[in-house]
Chains A and B, each alone.
Chain A
Amino acid sequence: MAFLSVENLTYTYGQNTPFEKTAIKDISFSAEKGEIIGLIGHTGSGKSTLVQHLNGLIKPQSGQILLDGTDIWADEKKIREIRFRVGLVFQYPEYQLFEETVEKDIAFGPTNMGLSPEEIKARVYAAAQSVGLREELLAQSPFDLSGGEKRRAAIAGVMAMQPEILIFDEPTAGLDPAGRDQILENIVKYRDATGATILIVSHSMEDMAKVAEKILVMNHGSLALSGTTESVYAQADALVGMGLNVPQITKVFLALRRFGIDLPLVYTVDGAFDAILSFRKGGAPV
């Protein structure tokens, strides 16, 4: 039994009204502990509706979500507990900072969990460290931080609840390359340290190529493609048809293959570099 199992989830907004719109249709997938999964799809494809189901912000109209084999809605009164186990970092989470100090802001979640003051403090410091926030920043107002620091403080606030599943909605949107790489690195480090399952909603096929082990592709509310990163990126034409961009380097290699050159399919610059060198050595493609 998978750790997280989503079965035949369907959701329609404005049911029985003229504005009825089916946001997700018959979505099924599963995730194991410690996996990093990329959830890709263009705007309006149903990604946000799906992730809001996973921590019980939206109740399924049909289908179910099993966490460790138990339906998260089995006992409605316990749904709050699910939200501690499945953390959701919204898009632009820095807009949700509100406390007087960074420390208090990060402590907000653990405090709501009713933990002891010592435990809260330990978690706040650990979370700040996970996202690379210097300790002296904890005493400052979150509104005095730089944009990238604010984002990381907001992420630390969710990490401090030590969820078993951590979902990020566009965690790198609006950041520059340095800020983006730092966030992605923090996420991978957090997974390595805690063994949490990570789900990242993203538009960036390049980013997902760097960190994701599995990819889910949503299109018009359905799960159009899913599988290992390699197997999904190999279907470049299908991805382009859904308004998504395959990485530039993948396009180059697809074109080279059309010239009859027997190269493997790559989606990172590292992979492309290795593939070209080993091809020139006459060896079999990696």
Chain B
Amino acid sequence: MAQKVLEMKNIGKSYFGTQVLKDINITLEAGEIHALAGENGAGKSTLMNILFGMPVIHQTGGFDGEVLINEEPVNLNSPQKAMAAGIGMVHQEFMLLPGFTITENIKLNREITKDNIFSKIFGKSLKTLNFKAMNKDAKKAMTQLGMSIDEITLISKLPVGHMQFVEIAREIDKGDIKLLVFDEPTAVLTENEADKLLDAMEKLSEKGIAILFITHRLDEIMRVADTITILRDGHLVESGKKESFTIETIAEKMVGRKMSKSEMLKRDDFIENASTLLNIENLKVDMPGEKVKNFSLEVKQGEILGIGGLAGGGKIGVSNGIMGLYPSEGNISKNGSPIALNSPVSSLNQKIAFVSEDRRGIGLLLDESIEMNIATTAIQIQDKFLKNSFSKSLSFYDNIAIRKHALELIKELDIRCTGPEQKARSLSGGNQQKVCIARAFTLEPEILFVSEPTRGIDVGAKQIVLDLLVKMNREHGVTIIMTSSELAELRKICDRIAIVAEGELAGILPPDAPDVKFGLMMAAKKEVIHHG
């Protein structure tokens, strides 16, 4: 039996009398990849905070149970101690200096130095940096991860996906690392990059490093994990070898209720008969990282159209361009009447609404209440919820009408909150997304653009969001154009799926087309780029 690297015994934690974790037992052996699954709020972050000795735990009265590292009890009451004990963390947000090279980032504050005259006189802080040795170390760490980027490249020049690897390289370069925690490392990566990351994780585990892997993507768990632990509401629901689980059982146990697949009515003849609602011709969008070069497409009345493709291919640029958020050119017309580009107002006035992929950046006023988040756009664009007055722009908004509307939507979309006055910031990802959808829904759109609607939200909430979109389409007749990186969810609810590659339309496929067709279409022109 391999050595136990980490053992967490009977861990419990309560915040101000609320039990958030109870009797959690987790054991990791050297070289084991242990997946930790659970919905948002299941207690994963609290458990990780305990493991890292985060101050938030100790300021609120510590925790119950004990943590053993290499079979010896340790008292991890500060992050420094956790690091010294050989625990490394790969963060979801990157902690890198953009203007520094890969080597400098990896070696920061652990530089290899050599003596010179001044350092002999004035002390060791004036020693010369030994870049040769540092570059060698950096290269070694990157190669271990299967990356072959030049180690003197500036971080700012790297694609997002590669930054993650630099983070990991920094952790493994520390040498005595025994346990690495990956907190949703693939959330910001494309499928291709995520693959590479999973390969790298497997390589690390072969070297005897234990890995604790937190993710929302169940197929990733099934691919790399040796052991799986599922948390729900602060309890350990089940733990065991991967072989004893399937994606469906994990999903079911996480949510604690049977997952219902959204029943799609087959509507084969539907598309041919439908008239064209939105006509996009030669759209060019200058969105950094998601350039659209020449995109043309006809959207049919009443359909759910999916837009898929690899990250950086331009699929996200399409909706952002049409909504006037990024500089664009081309011809867009709805029912034959042209829509001015580069003007959010003209699109909104044409009853086109948008749920952005950047939920926190564009979709929400984080420090405002749910009700104001929902109502603001409708007030500005459609003069909804305004009391009559001599001037539209100086009329008061109607708090009572807003409250009533918000309560209806909270009920209809099942937004879990303490009330319409709760601040958007304090909601979970899934519920924030529902608020974004409610905001768009309030505009009573005829066309709804939805960009990455399930990014960063947990499995249960994902299903609810998708069901909601289907419901809007079927019951309210909203034509939906959904952009997503997850092919699986596009195939679940879309009538047609357009694939965008290299800023152009690569083709349109029915949702039941075979995988290989999608794969080929997405990758057709991408071969060259993805060998960074």
Co-complex (A, B): no
Residues of A participating in the B interface, judged by any CB pair closer than 8 Å: none
